[in-house]
């Protein structure tokens, strides 16, 4: 386990002066942040603020309009196709939906990235699949189809697939969304234990405040295209920003206005 504080650990991913738009809509405006080795870093913020977009920028599916996303000092946006393929082998991704291949068995789902990135013989692939399923508590489910498993079990199979190649970096996109409290507890424990066992650098994208505060080493709160606040969970709880306070407490009162129209009711004519 990495015993360095979040501020001491060396960065694996550096986002430098990143700007990104979709049409005229600004998603990020000159944003900088660090994903430090061996740490669990959370990217938090309201829905629709571009948290998943940030994961796609890190994974190289999207390219910044300005700025850089660096993996070990190398600009992901400038990598050749071959370099990007190799870089992605160092990354695992747990999609919000799990995104298992529904026409493949559990075994074939977990084996998929191993087959894509290696030339290992089948007996070694089988051993790796068994080890990964064991690590998420699902050994023995190899021949099941995703439709035969519960939602929580599907999420754990997806996690086994995400760590199939022993990545340096794993990214979780809303891992707690739609899960019951027991599954959320299981996933929280798995995220922490896998980080400790594999020394994984971990990114969690979430707007689930309680679970994320309980697990993250360092948190960035993003909204309106910028980083509204950052720090350890304890630092964020004391953060002076009205936005950060409102987001962490779920208060209706604050800088985020949930009322779309500001026109008083009395100004509306009744026909």
Q: Helix (H, G, I), strand (E, B), or coil: what is residue 211?
A: helix
pLDDT value at residue 23: 87
For residue 235, the model assigns a pLDDT of: 92
Strands (E), 84-174: 91-94, 169-173
Please give the angle made by the CA atoms of 178, 194 and 235, to the nearest 5 degrees: 75
Alpha-carbon span 194 to 211, nearest angstrom: 16
Q: How would CATH label the architecture of 10-90+168-255? A: 3-Layer(aba) Sandwich (3.40)
206 — phi, psi (to 5°)? -160, 155
Greatest alpha-carbon span in the chain:
75
End-to-end CA gap in the chain: 68
Residue by residue, pLDDT tens for the chain (271 residues) are 555 555 556 999 999 999 999 888 999 999 999 999 999 999 998 887 888 899 999 999 999 999 999 999 999 999 999 999 889 889 988 887 667 888 999 999 999 989 988 899 999 999 999 999 998 888 889 999 999 998 888 888 988 998 888 899 999 998 887 777 877 888 888 888 888 888 889 999 988 888 889 999 999 999 889 999 999 999 988 877 888 888 888 766 555 554 444 455 455 544 4
pLDDT for the residue 259: 45
How far is CA 70 from its chain centroid? 17
Q: Give SS3 for 156.
A: helix
Angle at 146 (CA atoms; ends 142, 150), nearest 5 degrees: 105
Task: Annotate 35-46 with b (16+ C-beta within 10 A) or e (fewer).
Answer: bbbbbbbbbbbb
* Confidence at residue 253, expressed as pLDDT on a 0 to 100 scale: 59
- Taking a C-beta distance cutoff of 8 angstroms, is the pair 95, 103 a contact? no
Domain ranges of the chain: 10-90+168-255, 99-166
Q: What is the pLDDT of residue 260?
A: 42
């Amino acid at each position: 386990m990495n015993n360095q504080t979040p501020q001491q650990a060396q960065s694996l991913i550096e986002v430098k002066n990143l700007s990104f738009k979709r049409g005229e809509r600004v998603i990020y405006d000159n944003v900088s942040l660090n994903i430090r080795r061996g740490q669990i870093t959370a990217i938090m913020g309201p829905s629709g603020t571009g948290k998943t977009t940030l994961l796609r920028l890190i994974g190289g599916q999207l390219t910044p309009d300005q700025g850089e996303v660096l993996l070990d000092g190398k600009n992901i946006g400038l990598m050749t196709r071959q370099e990007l393929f190799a870089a992605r082998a160092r990354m695992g991704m747990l999609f919000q939906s799990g995104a298992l291949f529904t026409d493949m068995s559990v075994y074939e789902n977990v084996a998929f990235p191993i087959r894509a990135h290696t030339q290992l013989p089948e007996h070694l692939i089988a051993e790796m699949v068994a080890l990964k399923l064991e690590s998420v508590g699902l050994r023995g489910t190899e021949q099941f189809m995703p439709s035969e498993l519960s939602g929580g079990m599907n999420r754990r199979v997806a996690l086994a697939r995400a760590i199939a190649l022993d990545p340096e970096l794993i990214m979780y996109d809303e891992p707690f969304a739609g899960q019951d409290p027991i599954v959320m507890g299981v996933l929280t424990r798995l995220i922490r234990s896998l980080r400790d066992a594999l020394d994984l650098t971990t990114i969690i994208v979430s707007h689930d405040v309680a679970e994320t505060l309980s697990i993250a080493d360092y948190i960035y709160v993003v909204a309106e295209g910028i980083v509204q606040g950052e720090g350890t969970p304890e630092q964020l709880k004391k953060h002076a920003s009205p936005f950060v306070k409102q987001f962490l407490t779920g208060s209706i009162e604050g800088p985020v206005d949930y009322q779309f129209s500001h026109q008083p009711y009395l100004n509306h004519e009744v026909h």
